[in-house]
């Protein structure tokens, strides 16, 4: 799956202390007028959202938008700070559910960040920095599962309504 233009502009802008639209065009390899207009439009939208501020006419600065810390963010912070830890330690310190912790630790092991060293102990083997790593493929599968579950729930609700309508008709006769 390809990243959208907005995400590409964010990532390019984050690489500069200060930048112009032309800097972003160059970094992204944009050469067409249509592509340059898309970059201009994205910069405008990011300025409105507060992620980009104008320093002076045509010169910008990227300000990473903060988001609330999730349980997964806290688990990743604990993994990085402890380096060698048990599942119980992370559960106690993060207040995340054991299921969430184990699922995320397995995800980190899959992408090569940690290794299981004992029955419930783990060791950090590759520190990817403070940004919480995610397994994009797994996230995509989970989104698809949630969507299918939602469709199944809607189908069941429709069947239930039909059954209730039939029951109401029988009772009223």
Q: Are the folds of 5-62 and 71-124 the same?
A: yes
Full DSSP string of 41-67: HHHHHHHHHTSEEEEETTEEEE-PPP-
Provide the token pair at 42.
């994205």
What per-residue confidence (pLDDT) applies to 131?
84
**5-62: what fold?**
Arc Repressor Mutant, subunit A (1.10.10)
Instruction: Name which CATH class applies to 71-124.
Output: mainly alpha
What per-residue confidence (pLDDT) applies to 147?
72
Domain ranges of the chain: 5-62, 71-124
* Tens digit of each residue's pLDDT (9 = 90 or more) over 123-157: 999 988 888 887 667 656 666 766 777 777 777 77
Does residue 109 contact residue 115 with C-beta atoms inside 8 Å? yes
Mean pLDDT (the chain) is 86
pTM to 2 decimal places: 0.49
């Amino acid at each position: 799956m390809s990243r959208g233009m907005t995400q590409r502009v964010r990532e390019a802008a984050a690489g500069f202390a200060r930048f112009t639209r032309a800097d972003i065009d160059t970094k992204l390899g944009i050469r067409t007028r249509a592509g340059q207009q898309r970059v201009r439009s994205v910069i405008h939208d990011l300025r409105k959202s507060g992620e980009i501020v104008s320093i002076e006419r045509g010169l910008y600065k990227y300000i990473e938008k903060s988001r609330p810390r999730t349980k997964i963010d806290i688990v990743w912070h604990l993994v990085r700070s402890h380096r060698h830890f048990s599942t119980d330690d992370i559960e106690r310190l993060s207040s995340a559910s054991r299921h969430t912790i184990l699922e995320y630790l397995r995800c980190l092991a899959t992408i090569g960040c940690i290794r299981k060293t004992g029955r419930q102990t783990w060791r950090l083997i590759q520190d990817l920095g403070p940004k919480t790593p995610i397994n994009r493929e797994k996230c995509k599968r989970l989104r698809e599962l949630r969507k299918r579950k939602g469709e199944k729930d809607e189908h069941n609700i429709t069947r239930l309504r039909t059954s209730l309508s039939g029951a109401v008709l029988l009772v009223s006769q």
